[in-house]
Structure 1
Amino acid sequence: MTASASPPIPSLLGVFAHPDDESLLAGGVLARHAAEGARTAVVTATWAPASPRAAELADALAALGAGQPRMLGYGDARNDSSAPGSPRFCDAPLDEVIAQLVAQVREFRPDIVVTHDAVGQLTGHPDHRHTHRVTLLAVEAAGLAHLYPETGEPWQTRALYAATHPHSGVGDLGQLLAGVGKTVLSVPDAYVTAAVDVTPWVEQKWRAVLAHRGEVARERPLPGILARLPEDTRRRIISTEYFTRLAPGPVPGDRLQLTP
């Protein structure tokens, strides 16, 4: 009698708005999947590939085992110098952005996609909210052969997750962000379908956050806030990652009526 083979570890593609979002919101999960032998990668919507933040992103992804940067190169809604000559991400033609993301999904062929939640993660940044919207559209479109056929063969992702923060999980972050004048947005606890303890990978995650040196050096961005905290407080904040599962593609069920 032979032992049954273990199921393959699902590949993971993150789609995030800015360099550092991947490390802050899903760095532990990315490191965990990579450590267990899964293919992992990150698509970043904003900042030019020639910018200093691109080099920082490369270092962060190396720390997480998540490959090379995949940057769409659009402008940050709140930083005019992020991608000179390119439109702001929120202003770019929707079809153009979706086509680029569909191409990334079809090329990488992930089992799981992780992106921002609908409220835009704690601070409600417009680029976060827009990334959520376009990722939902792109993941569905990637599975349909007649949409964006020029971007490759169709691929249906098995699961789509939104990184989020429940009301009960904001903890110290609420006071810290409010202290620098930022709005704190979270979701009802019932929205969270996975709370992942990433303690075994928290050192990798923190190295990835520190790789975003420009943000660490500033006072208002979250990497800078975290860097000024006592280590035990910081570890407590970054050791759990929260996600809401969103169902991509068709779900088998009653063909004749809608069910809750």
Structure 2
Amino acid sequence: MTDRPLTLMAVHAHPDDEATGTGGVLARYAAEGVRTVLVTCTDGRCGDGPGGVKPGEDGHDPVAVAAMRRKELEASCEVLEVGHLELLEYADSGMMGWESNDAPGSFWRTPVADGAARLAELMRHYRPDVVVTYDENGFYGHPDHIQAHRITMAALELVDLSPKVYWTTVPHSAVRRFGEVMREFGPDQEQSAQAAEAAEAAELPEAPELPEASELPELGLPDEEISTWVDTTAFGGRKFDALAAHASQGDNIFFLRMGKERFTELLGVETFVRVKDTTGAALPENDLFAGLR
């Protein structure tokens, strides 16, 4: 036995990714005494600038955007009580097909071996019992998410550790519910008073029009293929507040339009696929640390 605390390491691509897919587990496990480590791979420079200015538009300063998003990330980590924040600080690559994919220093252009070596050093230092990242498609095809997956899986091959490893996902049933909520809060509907108050409190810009539910990309997995369902309902408010801390990106964060109660109803359970395990814990499971405590 060891007196080292159980440790969760989440490897994400950009500032704000930590809140969307793993804000609940980061907050829950921190409250349970688990040491939480967040690794953010890029600086987020391809995000929106002040006032919602987009990359490439007049007034978008990538260096200033990166500095702003770092402060927002630190604020999010405070809300989630993340124990340790590690920044790899690669340049945000932007969406697939953007010229920034191949810019010098971009994460997408970085050799996987180089990123994996840096991440492996962090793994040796923290010795995580559980590692969470994206699947091989980066959940929805973003180059930085794909690269985060690649360096995480490569780093695990470099270290003498046997953590449980998970990829984030969503069940198809949740995608259908998301489509229903999009219609409810879409451009033809008035925002609820609660959602409007939340947006105002977070100083978010006016929300853009949303795509039709039929235009949503194919995301996630059939419910029966989800291995791990973690109830984080008790931490839904914190997850919402962590996401709201990334106020500069509010133009792109649909979930903040619905208010905390509906947000928690929709996102109160975080789901994963277990891809590496030495504990033999039975599936499906409701705890990332099943078999470890």
TM class by shorter chain equals: 0.7 to 0.9
User: Structure 1 residues 246 and 227, CA, compared in 2 at 3 Å: closer, same or farther?
Assistant: same
User: Structure 1 residues 96 and 8, CA, compared in 2 at 3 Å: closer, same or farther?
Assistant: closer
Q: Give the deviation of 1:139 after TM superposition.
A: 1.6
The aligned residue for residue 151 of structure 1 is none
Q: Distance in 1 between matches of 2:279 and 2:7?
A: 20
| Equivalent of 1:110 in 99, 106, 128 | 128
Q: Does 1:65 align with 2:61?
A: no
Q: Distance in 2 between matches of 1:113 and 1:137?
A: 13
The 5-angstrom pairing of residues 20-169 of structure 1 reads 20-47=16-43, 51-78=67-94, 87-121=105-139, 123-143=140-160, 156-169=161-174
Q: Does 1:226 align with 2:255?
A: yes
Q: Give the deviation of 1:240 after TM superposition.
A: 1.1
User: Structure 1 residues 239 and 81, CA, compared in 2 at 3 Å: closer, same or farther?
Assistant: farther
Give secondary structure in 1 for the equivalent of 2:108. Answer: helix
* Cα-to-partner distance string for 1:153-195 (whole Å, 9 max, x where unaligned): xxx0420111111222213334647449663422233331111
Query: What amino acid sits opposite 2:85 in the alignment?
Result: P
User: Structure 1 residues 65 and 33, CA, compared in 2 at 3 Å: closer, same or farther?
Assistant: same
Does the Cα contact within 8 Å between 1:113 and 1:157 map onto a contact in 2? no
| Equivalent of 1:235 in 264, 275, 279 | 264
Q: Does 1:206 align with 2:240?
A: yes
Q: Give the deviation of 1:68 after TM superposition.
A: 4.4
Does the Cα contact within 8 Å between 2:134 and 2:149 map onto a contact in 1? yes
Give secondary structure in 2 for the equivalent of 1:69. Answer: strand
Does the Cα contact within 8 Å between 2:233 and 2:268 map onto a contact in 1? yes
Q: Distance in 2 between matches of 1:69 and 1:57?
A: 9
Give secondary structure in 2 for the equivalent of 1:107. Answer: helix
Does the Cα contact within 8 Å between 1:16 and 1:128 map onto a contact in 2? yes
Q: Give the deviation of 1:99 after TM superposition.
A: 0.6
Structure 2 residues without counterparts, runs of 5 or longer: 45-62, 183-209, 281-293
User: Structure 1 residues 72 and 8, CA, compared in 2 at 3 Å: closer, same or farther?
Assistant: closer
* Cα-to-partner distance string for 1:99-149 (whole Å, 9 max, x where unaligned): 11101111111111111123322x322211221122111122122xxxxxx
| Equivalent of 2:229 in 195, 206, 212 | 195
Q: Give the deviation of 1:70 after TM superposition.
A: 1.2
Does the Cα contact within 8 Å between 1:164 and 1:187 map onto a contact in 2? yes
**Aligned-pair Cα RMSD in Å:** 3.0
After the TM superposition, which parts of structure 1 deviate over 4 Å for at least 4 consecutive aligned residues? 79-82, 248-251
Give the number of aligned pairs.
Answer: 227
Q: Give the deviation of 1:8 after TM superposition.
A: 8.2
| Equivalent of 2:275 in 230, 246, 249 | 246
- Normalization by structure 1: what TM-score? 0.77
Does the Cα contact within 8 Å between 1:64 and 1:208 map onto a contact in 2? yes
- Normalization by structure 2: what TM-score? 0.69
Q: Which moved more, 1:40-49 or 1:205-214?
A: 40-49
Give secondary structure in 2 for the equivalent of 1:243. Answer: strand
